[in-house]
Chains A and B, each alone.
Chain A
Amino acid sequence: MCGIAGLYTKSPALAAGLGEHLSRMLEQLSFRGPDSAGVAFYRDPAPAGWCKVSLHSAAEHPGWDEVGASLALAFGEASVPQVRATHATFVIEADAAHAQAWLSEHHPELRLMSAGSSIEIYKEAGPPRDFIARFALEEMSGSHALGHTRMATESRVTTQHSHPFSTGLDLCLVHNGSLSNHNRLRRVLQREGIQFQTDNDSEVAAGYLTWRMREGATLEQALEGCLEDLDGFYTFAVGTADGFAVLRDPIACKPAVMAETDEWVAMASEYRAIAVLPGAEDATLWEPEPGRVYSWGTAPVT
């Protein structure tokens, strides 16, 4: 069992309080996932010609300032690190692919959590309430965000095994469920050049989406491919640069509720995580149908 939350804002006032609202949603989902928690926030897009990366370090003293100085030396300019607990984000005057390649070569001790223009991923083992406080999530603004609380069923509880998983530039995946053909699919994807950090089943779903979109599929086509190629139970939420998408497996063992008002669109594993949002009592509510892709504000991803 895990908990998923997604919140897409339609007004500046709600965008300013995005972190506070998503934190309240995650608290409601703590009982579905006490082992670890994670979020993807879409905020403060990098200027044209720049990219944004979020990195994780397991070291006690990660030396983020030195990382920033070395990035500035390599690429001309890089922002000062924005540090949150064990993570830091940098805005770099480079395209994301170059920045990623450079970081993996020169800072192999760091884990790349996300790359793109506006995405920032933060995730950590431990109870969701501790995560919310430690990463000061309530202060964060943004246009939209996804969150996840994990109850591990098939692999270890570590930062790397936590959700969201990056699936490409400005893209990420959170998953409630379990996949049964992930080992075989991981080997297929590895032969296609997709890299994995863990033995986690959800990371394979993320890798599958990355591979399909690399081969030219739109996000919607890649998600529809899951219905054929993934064996198991899943409710997925996928964050994109300007929205999010939701898919449930055809058997629909894992729950999902969606809601919309003039101010926001939300999805969550349970309604109680939506009930804490302003105006929830008057929201339009529905249960997403199994095997159907739902998306908000999502431009076709090529």
Chain B
Amino acid sequence: MAAPDATRDALESFDLAIDTVRELNRRLHDSTRAQRLRVLNPGGRHSIAVGLDGSHEIEIEGHVGYYCAGMNKLATIRVRGNCGVGVAENMMSGAVIVEGSASQSAGATARGGLLVIHGDASARCGISLKGADIVVRGSVGHMTGFMAQKGAVVVCEDAGEALGDSLYEARLYVRGSVASLGADCIEKELRAEHLEELRGLLARAEIDDVEPAEFRRFGSARQLYHFQVEHLGSY
């Protein structure tokens, strides 16, 4: 499908108390023009605004269920509420902004784009992250960044147990406490390029009440994933 052009519709409403999620998603998938849409009465329904491929601007007025904004490409999706499991899973590009909190596996396997969570994210935030950036204004649950390969996770408050377990090359930044580090995850020096990255990510997330220098950086010790038989004893 051709990329939507820059002409945008005026902000329209789509009421999920009247029409179905499938109708909403079909309308957004079939559109060759970027749409601005306000989604009303989400009621915790699953799979709202998934698989978008165009620079739509979607505002969801309330709490959503599982996999909201999954596989997002180019679109900007704002959730004025909380999210269930797997918000923005496998996002390719664009931005997803959650004004409330997110349940487990937020941003799982996401390859590109920006996920901002203004509340907390629970367990396994950024699991198997493959290049997207995630900024959480609150705290994250256990196993955040599990097997994350590429991209960054910024946590403005605390991180739960086993942060960065089996981490590859994603960068994890935590401003508050870390309950424990997972296997092969270590604290690393916060250098100028990391301060610069943090400054950029916080600005894109429109978070201006924390300072880049307040964060600590965590990354892979690179002892686990480069499996070498001569190192067997240390695994």
Residues of A with Cβ closer than 8 Å to B? Answer: 252, 255, 257, 270-276, 281, 285-287, 289-290
Contacts and interface: CB of A to CB of B under 8 A. Distances in A.
13 contacts: A252-B104, A252-B141, A257-B103, A270-B65, A270-B66, A271-B82, A272-B44, A272-B65, A275-B43, A275-B44, A275-B63, A276-B43, A289-B141
A290 to B, nearest CB: 7
Contacts of B100: 285
Contacts of B65: 270-272
B101 interface: yes
B142 interface: yes
B127 interface: no
B33 interface: no
A255 B104 contact: yes
CB-based closest 9 A-B pairs: A272-B44, A271-B44, A275-B43, A275-B44, A252-B123, A287-B122, A271-B63, A272-B65, A287-B103
B84 A270 contact: yes
B160 to A, nearest CB: 9
A274 B63 CA distance: 11
A182 to B, nearest CB: 24
Nearest to B123: A252
A253 to B, nearest CB: 9
A282 B141 CA distance: 25
Nearest to A272: B44
Interface in B206-233: none
B62 interface: yes
Nearest to A276: B43
A290 B84 contact: no
B84 A271 contact: yes
B39 to A, nearest CB: 14
Interface string B74-112: 000000001011000000000000001101100000000
A216 to B, nearest CB: 31
Contacts, number: 42
Contacts of A287: 101, 103, 122
**Size class of the contact patch on chain B:** 10 to 19
B199 interface: no
Given A271-B65, A274-B44, A275-B63, A255 B84 contact: yes
A275 B65 CA distance: 11
B45 interface: yes
Given A252-B122, A271-B82, A290-B123, A281 B62 contact: yes
Contacts of A270: 44, 65-66, 84
B8 to A, nearest CB: 29
Interface string B44-56: 1110000000000
B108 to A, nearest CB: 14
A281 B17 CA distance: 14
Given A270-B65, A271-B63, A285-B63, A255 B43 contact: no
Contact of A255 (B82, B103, B141, B142): B103
B16 to A, nearest CB: 11
A271 B102 CA distance: 12
B48 to A, nearest CB: 11
B123 A255 contact: no
Contacts of A290: 123, 141-142
A271 B142 CA distance: 21
Nearest to B64: A271
Nearest to B100: A285
B104 A272 contact: no
A270 B103 CA distance: 10
Contacts of B123: 252, 290
A275 B63 CA distance: 9
A285 B65 CA distance: 13
Interface in B114-137: 122-123
Given A272-B65, A285-B63, 11 more contacts: A252-B122, A255-B103, A270-B65, A270-B66, A271-B65, A271-B84, A272-B46, A275-B43, A275-B63, A287-B101, A290-B141
Contacts of A286: 101
A289 B142 CA distance: 10
Contacts of A289: 141
Contacts of A272: 43-46, 65
